[in-house]
A and B are shown apart, each in its own frame.
Chain A
Amino acid sequence: MTQFDYEDNSITWVIGGAQGSGVDSAANIFSRACAQAGLNVYGNREYYSNIKGEHSYFTVRVSDEPIHSHVDLIDFLVSFDAETVFVHAMEVKEGGAIIYDSDLVETGLHEVPTIDEYAVERISKMLEASERPLSVRGMLEYAEEKNLKLYGIPYFSLLKQFAEQIGDHTLSKVTRTVNVMALSASMAVLNFDQRILSECIRYVFRAKPKIAENNVSAANFVYGHVEQQFKSDPFRHTLKCKQPMANTILVQGNQSSALGKLVAGCRFQTYYPITPASDDSEFLESNQILEQTNGKEGSILVVQTEDEIAAITMAIGGALTGARSATATSGPGFSLMVEALGWAGINEVPLVISLYQRAGPATGLPTRHEQGDLLFAIHAGHGEFPRIVFSSGDIEESFYDTIKAFNFAEKYQMPVIHLLDKAIANSVTTCKNFDQHRIKIDRGQIVDKIPISGQGGDEKYLRFKIAKNPISPRAVLGTYNGIFWNTGDEHTEAGHITEDPYNRINMMNKRMSKLKIALEEIPNEDKAIMHGNVDDQNTLSILSWGSTKGSIVDAVERLNKEGEKVRFIQLRLLHPFPSDLVDTMINGSKLLVDVEMNYSSQLASLIQQHMKRKIDYSIVKYNGRPMSSSEIYNAIKHIITGNAPRRQVLENGT
């Protein structure tokens, strides 16, 4: 993990609790409050495929320095149930703190039904080995050995007192504020500005002003109690408030690509509900009416379909009319879409598919992270047809990349698979405000009318005319004088069925040669980016793609500071594969190390397919939990010191 000095406002804060008990809201308030206090924020959410009751937790890392990832160890654990203590207490590092419910100290490990049996076994072994009781008390004693500060909060009696104070004798309303009480207790220990805390509670609950005020009162009540109670025993960390960073937003990964779609001119999106992709569509539907610079009201139509086959085919139908169209899905849904993907390929339809990967196969780990669909995205579908596979490394990139994805789709008239994943979708970060005007719209060879024969027009419009440029002028349904045909069969220039062998060659050449043009035209920055000490020779070069970016960037920064010659080549365009650029980038590398969140090092096999050099070492992870920068740092360190096997499997995460 990156070690920061305690004075610099850097901590990793984790709140856990049963799903449905307000863990997210508490973490959102904490993130927002720290951002408003001038800190950089990076947070990520872990949860079960469950509505209520299973354990979820939210890690928020804050710092004066820019941060892009999470680390393995926790400085501050905030809990209001027993399970959070059981599963996270041993992750709290030396000198850290735990907030726990003092009424639950005697709760036994076997009394918590939601803990996975495997976790129960691990925790039991650990407690038994140190001869401690199998209870919250045992865990806390175990943790205390690491010099932890333990803050027992009597939530029930505080709730009762608070209820009396506000005149609610039923406790019904106030029990729901326990999440905010826990948060506020941690804020009191961290000596955080109470005014900002209140402001952020109001922000997060802005849709329900009454509930907001109730929570603000509860927070203040607990803040006062904790301040009094633990005055004599201050924590080593405090969070000092500064001016917030200028022109900065706090944004979630399930908003960024959707925001990009609004700017890109996506006006039609279809979807079938699936984690973690649904948030994208729901965000769009919540913001379906658009302000426009031309003063005219715009909109995006979001349609929930009966399945993913309907989602992609309906989106294709929309794209044929000229509306920029997209669908958002995850692995199981994308599996259903592949036949239609081929149809879009053979008919040269611009379509964007936001593929939010999660751990597969089948249902896999439906709420957990993996980058297992790279080769699938590249090869999905029978037969051969062109498509672009483009991957974003973080939330900020995903905004701009989404606009680019629509440009690529229309310029090259082919489907674009925009690879995103659970780690991006369920993370939150402070970053520079998105610039709506950075990327221009490029609609390629779209035509709005076809000249009539004898009035400047040649003969009949041919949608797939064989010409020097394989990218044909594209009329859309409803274009005057521009009628056309499409078919899933091989087709003539007009779009009618034909099985002629020579036409087949021409049409295959036409379609597939568009990939070469795309590869020539797509700018280098969209193909791959180098991070770290790029001018060093004889380096270790890490190659990776997608959401591992943040953790690798942070690890490389630390390694560079220690004088290690390490750089990171972030692949963005995965298909067509930018061999020439990658070749220049790896030039001068002593070792090539592939880092990926999957079992089989899928990028490594692409490199083997397209490059003369092979990967020397691989670092993989497939336990459903994103890579931390500390794990990557350690794994690279092992390689540098010559102690690493060719393939290292990372295992951290809860």
Chain B
Amino acid sequence: MALKFADYKTNVHNDWCPGCGDFGILNAIQMALADLQIPAYKSAIFSGIGCSGKTPHFINTNGIHTLHGRVLPFAQGAKLANPDLEVIAVGGDGDGLGIGAGHFVSAGRRNIDLAYIVFNNGVYGLTKGQAAPTLKLGMKTKSLPNPNVNNSVNPIALAIVSGFTFIARGYSYDVKHLKELIKKSIQHAGLAYLDVLQPCPTYNDINTREWYQGMNNFDEITHKQKPRIYKLEDTGYDGYVNTEETYPKMMQAIQKSDEWDDKIPIGVFYQNELVPSYKERIDSKIPSYISNPPAKQSIMDHNNLPSADISKLLESLRIDH
């Protein structure tokens, strides 16, 4: 029986603010899971802490709501122990690029096959609007007593230099487009980073839905209001890495990721399938890893005696031979 969008919904009360950009992302994830027909028991959504951290409770698959900043190591641990699981990690920009930034970089070095979706709104919503790592320098959202004193991190560029092998950006009010990006992130056989611009209607009164859609952004010639968001694929941009293109494609993506204010690109910035995934790297040292991964190994016989046989190791320690 085909799985439907509704099969991925739970009846848990959703307490996000009305108009929150998170709803679009939640729907897009559920639609992507339905499109890909991923059974609930085979998938696990991991999350960090914050409004975005509640996402797994609204999705009818395994849902692991972890600790602030730690979603990536939790998620990687599960994927490593059971590579058959479809693992998706979600979190906010404070979670992943502030307190969890070290894990972000290190995850890139591994290139484990999972998708990481960051709900990027520039503020710490659940703690009432403090500046988050992606908020631009000098911005003063309504809950800040002073303009933001820190420079912002560029998550796309950081993902590229950290070694993520699929990097894209979506917009939470373009659910159809976002759904396709989520599907691509899931299907990519390596570590995917999906940055989602997600207006926080309560605390970020600068990067609002209206702002993204062109408020005060006028075309110089026509003087008409022009949406800030545009799609990379509409401009002929190609982020896919063919042999020997890694470096130029990385540079191209970093350059593109610097666009902001009046022109904000969404779509696939970079995709590199030439880098071996962590699974392949393990497989080269443990040949049975893929066929008999940690979670699937039988560790005892029918008498509950250990399956492992370390006789040879013990033999090497024996002194009476």
Seen from chain A, the residues whose Cβ lies within 8 Å of a Cβ on chain B are 32, 35-36, 243-251, 255, 259, 262-265, 267-268, 270, 287-294, 296-301, 303, 305-307, 309-311, 313-325, 339-340, 343, 403, 430, 433-434, 436-437, 439-443, 476-489, 495-497
Shortest A307–chain B CB gap in Å is 6
A245 touches B319 (CB 8 A): yes
Q: A265-B297, A299-B288, A323-B82 are in contact. Are A480 and B77 (CB under 8 A)?
A: no
Q: Which of A339, A443, A497 contacts B54 (CB under 8 A)?
A: A497
Nearest chain-A residue to B307 (Cβ)? A292
Sample (24) of A-B pairs whose CB atoms are under 8 Å apart: A247-B318, A251-B317, A268-B77, A288-B286, A290-B310, A291-B308, A298-B307, A300-B294, A301-B81, A305-B73, A310-B70, A313-B74, A313-B77, A317-B73, A318-B81, A321-B85, A322-B81, A437-B305, A440-B300, A443-B300, A482-B41, A484-B62, A485-B63, A485-B65
Tell me which residues across on chain B come within 8 A of A434, comparing CB atoms.
Answer: 310, 314
The answer to whether A293 and B307 touch (CB under 8 A), given A268-B77, A317-B78, is yes
Once the chains are docked, how many angstroms separate the CA of A434 from the CA of B315? 10
Q: Does B145 contact A (CB under 8 A)?
A: no
User: Given A310-B106, A478-B85, A486-B64, A299 and B292 touching (CB < 8 A)?
Assistant: yes
Cβ-defined contact, A291 with B309, below 8 A: yes
B259 at the interface (CB under 8 A from A): no
Specify which of A294, A315, A481 is in contact with B77 (CB 8 Å cutoff). Answer: A315
* Partner among A309, A316, A436 whose Cβ is within 8 Å of the Cβ of B310: A436
Closest A residue to B289 by CB, please name it: A299
- Asked if residues B313 and A287 are in contact (CB atoms below 8 Å), the reply is yes
Please state if B74 and A487 are interface contacts (CB–CB under 8 Å): no
Asked if residues A485 and B56 are in contact (CB atoms below 8 Å), the reply is: yes
B294 x A321 contact (CB < 8 A):
yes
Judge if B57 is at the interface, Cβ distance under 8 Å: yes
CA A91 to CA B64, docked complex, whole Å: 58
CB of B81 within 8 A of CB of A486, answer: no
B282 at the interface (CB under 8 A from A): yes
Interface membership of B165, Cβ < 8 A: no
Cβ contact within 8 Å between A436 and B106: no
Q: Are A317 and B299 within 8 A (Cβ)?
A: no
Given contacts A287-B313, A314-B77, A478-B42, contact A301 B307 (CB under 8 A): no
**Docked complex Cα distance between A265 and B294 (Å):** 9
**Given A249-B317, A263-B308, A317-B76, A488-B84 contact (CB < 8 Å):** no
A434–B314 Cα distance when bound, in Å, is 7
Residue of B nearest to A283 (CB): B313
Closest 7 CB pairs of A and B: A317-B77, A265-B299, A314-B77, A306-B106, A323-B294, A267-B294, A318-B81
- B304/A488 in contact, CB under 8 A: no
Q: Is the CB of A317 within 8 A of B74?
A: yes
Residues of B within 8 A of A489 (CB): 65
Task: Identify the B interface with A (CB < 8 A).
Answer: 10, 12, 40-42, 44, 46, 49, 54, 56-57, 60-67, 70, 72-82, 84-85, 102-103, 105-106, 282, 285-289, 292-295, 297-301, 303-314, 317-320
Q: Are A270 and B319 in contact (CB under 8 A)?
A: no
Minimum Cβ distance to chain A for residue B203 (Å): 21
- CB pair B73–A433 under 8 Å, yes or no, is no
A76–chain B nearest beta-carbon distance, Å:
21
Contacts of A440 in B (CB 8 A): 300, 303-305
Q: How far is the CA of A288 from the CA of B286 in the complex (A)?
A: 8
The winner among B73, B293, B305 for most chain A CB atoms within 10 A is B73
Q: How far apart sit A345 and B309, CA to CA, in the bound complex (Å)? A: 32
Residue of B at shortest CB range from A407? B304
Partner among B56, B85, B287, B312 whose Cβ is within 8 Å of the Cβ of A477: B85
* Residue in A closest to B12 when the chains form the complex, CB atoms: A496
- Choose from B41, B77, B314, B318 the contact partner of A316 (Cβ within 8 Å): B77
Task: Tell me the nearest residue of chain A to B298, going by C-beta.
Answer: A294
A-chain residues with CB within 8 Å of residue B77 when the two chains form the complex: 268, 270, 313-320, 325
Q: Is the CB of B41 within 8 A of A483?
A: yes
Q: In the assembled complex, which residues on chain A have CB atoms less than 8 Å from the CB atom of B41?
A: 478-483
Q: In the complex, A425 Cα to B125 Cα: how many Å?
A: 47
Question: Most chain-A CB neighbours within 10 Å: which of B60, B295, B298, B319?
Answer: B319
Contacts of A311 in B (CB 8 A): 73
Q: Are B81 and A259 in contact (CB under 8 A)?
A: no
Scoring B66, B102, B294, B309 by chain A CB atoms within 10 A of each residue's CB, the highest score goes to B294
- In the complex, besides A263-B308, A314-B80, A318-B81, 7 extra interface pairs with C-beta distance below 8 angstroms are A265-B308, A267-B81, A268-B80, A437-B305, A482-B41, A486-B64, A495-B63
Q: Complex: how many Å from CA A439 to CA B306?
A: 8
Contact partners of A263 in chain B: CB under 8 A? 306, 308, 310
- Chain A residue contacts of B85, Cβ below 8 A: 321, 477-478
- Asked if A321 and B81 sit within 8 Å, CB to CB, the answer is yes
| Chain B residues within 8 Å of A436, by CB | 306, 308-311, 314
Separation of A349 and B64 alpha carbons in the complex (Å): 12
Query: What's the Cα separation between A289 and B303 when bound, in Å?
Result: 23
A441 and B78 contacting across the interface, CB-CB below 8 Å: no
Interface centre among A250, A287, A310, A403 (most CB of B within 10 A): A310
> Contact: A298 with B308, CB < 8 Å?
yes
> Which of B49, B75, B102, B295 has its CB near the most chain A CB atoms (within 10 A)?
B295
Chain B residue numbers with a CB within 8 Å of A443 are 300
Alpha-carbon separation in the docked complex, A482 to B41 (Å): 7
Contacts of B288 in A (CB 8 A): 289, 296-299
Q: Which of B65, B286, B306, B312 contacts A487 (CB 8 A)?
A: B65
Q: Across the interface, do B292 and A296 meet the contact criterion of CB distance under 8 Å? A: yes
Least distance between A24 CB and chain B CB atoms (Å): 17
Q: What residues of B have a CB within 8 angstroms of the CB of A270 in the complex?
A: 77
Contact A320–B313 (Cβ < 8 Å): no
Residues of A within 8 A of B317 (CB): 249-251, 255, 433
State whether A497 touches B294 (Cβ < 8 A).
no
Residue of A nearest to B47 (CB): A487
Q: Whose C-beta in chain A lies nearest to the C-beta of B104?
A: A306
Chain B residues near A437 (CB-CB < 8 A) = 305-306
Cβ–Cβ < 8 Å partners of A268 in chain B: 77, 80-81, 294
With a CB–CB cut-off of 8 A, which chain A residues contact B70? 309-310, 313, 340
Of B67, B298, B310, which one neighbours A262 at CB under 8 angstroms? B310
Whether the pair B298, A343 counts as a contact (CB closer than 8 A) is: no
- Chain B: which residue is nearest A265 at the CB level? B299
Partner of B314 from the list A298, A433, A484 (CB cut-off 8 Å) is: A433
For A406, give the chain B residue with the smallest CB separation.
B299
Q: Residues of B contacting A322 with CB < 8 Å?
A: 81-82, 295
Bound together, the chains give a CA A111 to CA B293 distance in angstroms of 57
Q: Decide: A267 and B299 in contact? CB cutoff 8 A.
A: yes
Question: Within the complex, what minimum Cβ distance (angstroms) separates B83 from chain A?
Answer: 10
- Docked CA distance A323–B103 (Å): 22
Instruction: Decide: A305 near B106, CB < 8 A? Known: A249-B314, A437-B306, A497-B57.
Output: yes
Which B residues are in CB contact (< 8 Å) with A439?
306
| Least CB separation from A203: chain B residue | B316
Q: Please, how many angstroms separate the alpha-carbon atoms of A483 and B63 in the complex?
A: 8
CA distance A291 to B314 in the complex (A): 13
- B72 neighbours in A (Cβ, 8 Å): 310
Contacts of A476 in B (CB 8 A): 295
Q: Which of A319, A343, A479 contacts B66 (CB 8 A)?
A: A343
Our pick among B10, B306, B313, B319 for the contact of A265 (Cβ within 8 Å) is: B306
Q: How far is the CA of A262 from the CA of B317 in the complex (A)?
A: 16
Q: A298-B297, A323-B295, A343-B66 are in contact. Are A249 and B318 (CB under 8 A)?
A: yes
CA distance A198 to B248 in the complex (A): 59
Residues of A within 8 Å of B63, CB to CB, are: 483-486, 495
Minimum distance in angstroms from A269 CB to a CB of chain B: 10
CA distance A296 to B308 in the complex (A): 10
- Beyond A485-B56, A497-B65, whether A325 also contacts B81 by CB under 8 A is yes
Given contacts A294-B307, A313-B67, A477-B78, contact A289 B299 (CB under 8 A): no
Complex contacts, A301 vs chain B, CB 8 Å:
80-81, 282, 286, 289, 293-294
On whether the beta carbons of B297 and A267 are closer than 8 Å, the reply is yes
Residue pair B67, A320 in contact (C-beta under 8 Å)? no
Contact between chains at A264 and B65 (CB < 8 Å)? no
